[in-house]
Amino acid sequence: MDRVMNTFPEKHLTAGIDEDVILSAIVEGATDGIARIDAQGVIVSWTTGAERLLGYSREEIVGQEIFRIVPPDLRETVRAGLRRQVKEGGVFHEETVRMHKRGRPVPVLLTRVPLKDAEGQTVAFLVIFKDISEKKKLQKQVETLQRDNAMAKVAAKVAHEIRNPLGVLFLKSDLMVERLEMAFECWGKGDPGQHRVVLEKYVSDIKRQISRLEEIANNYLQISKIRMNEREDVDLHKFMEDLEAELREHHSADGVTFVFSMAGELSTAYIDPQQFQRVFANLVRNSVEAIQLAHIQDGRIEIRLERNPGYVEFLVSDNGPGIPAQIQETIFDPFTTTKSIGTGLGLYLAREIVENHQGTLTIDSAEGAGTQVRIVIPLDDSETE
């Protein structure tokens, strides 16, 4: 049979079929998303695979700029990359994110191949998007397992964290009792104000340590509740108004200027409002304490909410001292802190809460240049239809 088949010239197998037709069929049948864009980034072709991956039909996307599917924080990077490839050529590969029509981020392995004209000038690009959602899910599961293993070690650390303030409480209590005995023995003699000053200092120390214990307990209680969020449709405008009132009242004596702003057509988001208030309470407390420790006189914290198609973005920015470079890689680990008193659980809790809402929390900070925290929360699909 093989001998018979080999007697046919190979060219007969595709006789009468144009090579462009064959190539088109291969491209159209590919499971990966494939698009062709011009040198300015305008989409000129869009395959069925791209439609399946990112949700846009040919009619919706052809003629639009490629930046329509690029997250806002990556657009300048993409523009610079296109300019560089036009000038230098070469094939570009990276793991990145593109935005689905419904507003959710889609992890992709992106390949961008320059297409040249007869003079060798780059006039267009072939862009291939390979869905790596499953790979990212697996990576996230591994990261979650690693975090869970880290939390298994936290119990010992908790005991240590609690023992320290408890030891101070016992010591100060004993000293206060001794001082009271002295005061009663010397009743009516000497300077009573002397005992008052010492006793007030002891009471202040005791209250401080009790507050620390309360913070530790509250943070661990919050950890146990992260996976049990009680979501509801929350009016974002009302949420920001309540948040502003609460933060201004809580930090009224801290000498920091607050700026709140909102942009876009605000509607609702499906979130747990109590958990999200805690996210902002933790972030703002970090900013306030960093500003105070650095003795910055004109401390400023800005909280901005912006509504975008398919997602909402919160930005919390401060003009504090920034995060030291040596701890930036571990800033989300439990008990990572630069403060002499603190649990180091604030950022860990904030990120856990945001990720449990299928969102992302990222930090941009440099020593001496302040800190900006960016939170992106996808909206319900029905809002973008």
Q: Are residues 186 and 42 in the same domain?
A: no
Total domains, the chain = 3
pTM of the predicted structure, to 2 decimals: 0.49
Q: Are residues 53 and 160 in the same domain?
A: no
pLDDT top residue among 371 and 195: 371
Q: pLDDT digit string (tens) for 302-326? A: 999 998 888 899 999 999 998 887 7
Q: Are residues 159 and 219 in the same domain?
A: yes
Give the Cα separation of 350 and 278 in Å (integer): 8
Look at residues 228, 259, 278 and tell me which one is the last residue of a structural domain: 228
Mean pLDDT, residues 81-106 taken together? 92
Look at residues 131, 153, 185 and tell me which one is the last residue of a structural domain: 131
Q: Are residues 277 and 184 in the same domain?
A: no
Q: Are residues 249 and 385 in the same domain?
A: yes
Give the Cα separation of 304 and 316 in Å (integer): 7
Mean pLDDT, residues 108-131 taken together? 92
Burial label for 348, CB within 10 Å (0-12, 13-18, 19+), is: buried
Q: Are residues 325 and 359 in the same domain?
A: yes
Look at residues 99, 131, 163 and tell me which one is the last residue of a structural domain: 131
Q: What range defines the domain where residue 204 resides?
A: 133-228
- Percent of the chain whose predicted confidence (pLDDT) is above 90: 39
Give the Cα separation of 239 and 250 in Å (integer): 16
Token digits of residue 209: 């340590």
Q: pLDDT digit string (tens) for 358-369? A: 899 999 988 888
Token digits of residue 341: 């008193």
Q: Are residues 374 and 345 in the same domain?
A: yes
- Tell me how far apart the terminal alpha carbons of the chain are, to the nearest angstrom: 57
Q: Are residues 209 and 250 in the same domain?
A: no
Give the Cα separation of 128 and 219 in Å (integer): 44
Backbone angles phi, psi at 349, to 5 degrees: -65, -45
Q: Does the pLDDT of residue 4 top 70, yes or no?
A: no
Q: Are residues 103 and 198 in the same domain?
A: no
pLDDT at residue 384 in the model: 39
DSSP 319: -
**What CATH number does the domain containing 255 carry?**
3.30.565.10
Mean pLDDT, residues 328-338 taken together? 67
pLDDT top residue among 193 and 129: 129
**What CATH number does the domain containing 52 carry?**
3.30.450.20
Q: Does the pLDDT of residue 51 top 70, yes or no?
A: yes
pLDDT at residue 125 in the model: 94
Mean pLDDT, residues 234-239 taken together? 92
CB-CB contact of 357 with 377 (8 Å):
yes
**3-state class (DSSP) for residue 109:** strand
Average pLDDT taken over every residue of the chain: 80
Q: Are residues 263 and 376 in the same domain?
A: yes
